[in-house]
A and B are shown apart, each in its own frame.
Chain A
Amino acid sequence: MQTLLEMVGICKSFPGVRALDKMSFDLFEGEVHALVGENGAGKSTLMKILSGLYLADEGEIRLRGKKIVVTGIRQMIDAGISVIYQELNLIQHLSVAENIFLGREPRYAGGFINWKKMYADVDRLLKPFNVDIDPRAKILSIGPAFQQVVEIAKALSLKADIIVMDEPTAPLTGNEVERLFEMINALKKSGVSIIYISHRLEELARVADRVTIIRDGSMIVTKPLSELNTEEIIRHMVGRHLSEQYPVAEIPVGAEVLRVEALTKKGVCSDVSFSVRKGEIVGFTGLVGAGRTEIMQLIYGYLKRDSGKVFIDGKETTIRNPRDAVLKGIGLIPEERKKQGLVLGLSVFDNSALTILDKFSRFGLLRMKTIGDLVRGMVAKMEIKTPTIRQQVRYLSGGNQQKVVLSKWFVRNCKVYIFDEPTRGIDVGAKVEIYKLMQNLALQGAAVIMVSSELLEIMNMSDRIEVVFSGRIVKEFKKGEASSEDVMEYALGLHSRAS
């Protein structure tokens, strides 16, 4: 195989951080090369350098053996490199065709857009993938899987021969993932090379030819996938043995803390009842869109419920908004970390202190020293990696950002913690730390709810599992009572009557 792309000795620093340190990477023609590493290892930075978004401090990029002097994004696109970001870069209110040809619309001589040609071109681009997408449909009306296809089509229309996919399966369901893999194989056959970034190690076996593992901004190993097993990959990623990916703890269960009765909101969920006791971790699982997140937001007062009651410590309470919920001792770690959990432009200190400012003021003035000590203690205890607590959280890695969200609630000492997808987009090492933190909370007598799509996580971490399907709790399992297959069957609605 021919070497298509080489990145050699790439260095890149940001204020206070050395993101890449003599990183090297290469890509053969027509291969799928997986790039794996913990969050903050430098994958995104490397790809941003490849896309021309960042300029490297040192090192060089060679394409087909020729060195290129990077000037910007435009140049790299022209060179045939397309990046499909995790947060897709599509314009919601424009059509599929307009998105694909944005800025390059086929035009008549008079300057008017040649719609006919544009739609025909889209059909031609999409044909190999055997998908049914209307080029006239607006992006917001098609699902995430199709949106990804649109991104790929756009890359192909740009004559890309290198496509970077950043966590492409994150928003997809099982079926859609299969379709994506088929598409990737089709692309490979047509001679396109793919750099595939993912946290889901089990996927790699399905698509990747070679794997490069990156840690702390440097290349650790590049090998054909067949020469590595999952254990080894994880070991290279974290640089240590992960003997206990799911920590085990014996936690005594106490009195009931939270009880929800017949929680109902039209079109969202109906008749949801469950309870959580002291020291217990209750897992909520189900398909994306089953209503798990919404149930939590209803309890938390962020959505308005139609009916249903919430009891805390056995007493019925009114929760009309998040403020009420927090005052009653509930903390919510939301699914969308950046949009709902953090103020990215503020510091670690400001974010962590957000929930406790009302507790620490004297004559209207904040007791900055007390708050500072508390936050500093929490940052140390949680091992949040940040140069100072004055650092803006936008510069932290995903795992550390999530820890900041957690510390924001831990400093307040809640009775009930609701974790919504606490480990999404977080690397293996940080995951384990978050599991341990969760168990620690339970040990200290908190009641914990964990919403998650990752079955293994649910199976291993929950004392009880509530399976949600179509807005209802369809099954409750105790720990060790069921296999993952059992849980999956309920989550897929196989045991529910058609409603």
Chain B
Amino acid sequence: MKKVLILLTMVLVLLPANIFAQKQIVIGMTVPGLQFPFFVTMKAEADAAAAKLGVKLLFIDAENSSDKQMAAIESFVAQKVDGILISPMTTDSLVPAIEAAVKAGIPVATVDRKANTNVVLIHVGADNVEGGRAAARYIVDKLKNKGGVIELEGTPGSSAAVDRKKGFDEVMKKSGVKILVSQTAEFDRAKGQSVMENLMQVYPKFDAVFGANDEMIIGAIEAMSGANIDLKTKVTIGFDATTDALSYMAEGKLGATIDQFPGKQAGQALQALFDKIKNKKNPAKNVTYINPLPVTK
């Protein structure tokens, strides 16, 4: 009974994919987690791009787990999709699954985060290190190369956190602006608030705050508002250009955020996959970086 049920479910899941496979290009897409607005935006724009190209997009959320993402790729291969679009959880963990997919004749494109393999058709990403540098340059510029900054890091050990910090610290070291303290708030808004509250006491004379994502900088801004700090006197910059960050900017509470154009990334990668599948055309370059830029409005 149970087995029949499982079989039935599997058939139901697989059926539409197989029916459409003959007429329509099917591409499997998986991202680290839809709890992050960044990937929600990425998916939304990928959906739009797919609709424009007439491609069917199968989507699986990895729910912040490499294992789940690996299973997602395996199920794409089993369903014989025409291409796979992936933003891998980590640089290494998904390599075997990606290589297996390519071996099965399915082109794979990576978006935003890279995979440590040369078999992918194309990587379209924003360089997180470069993004960190851009954020640092924005602060140095605004502070006229003097003063002190509080840095909020992402989840310890995640590549985005490590790379953004690397770029940011690199530029800061060469500048006249001092990093007063750098603490993790785990990419989380509530933690961003608590950590900022704590840090403001030790470094009351800070001039700028850098949040390695928008969630943390928004938390920090809420902490500053709570402490009756005039936000206009502080330079603030986040990362990811989420809708919330943009509305904080519109209200004049947030200075800037780094935009990595997740939608544009996904769109370009999808286009490359489409060209390969439909027209057997390889992309001109197999790595494309979209330059991350601070947006201030």
Direct contact of A and B (CB under 8 A): no
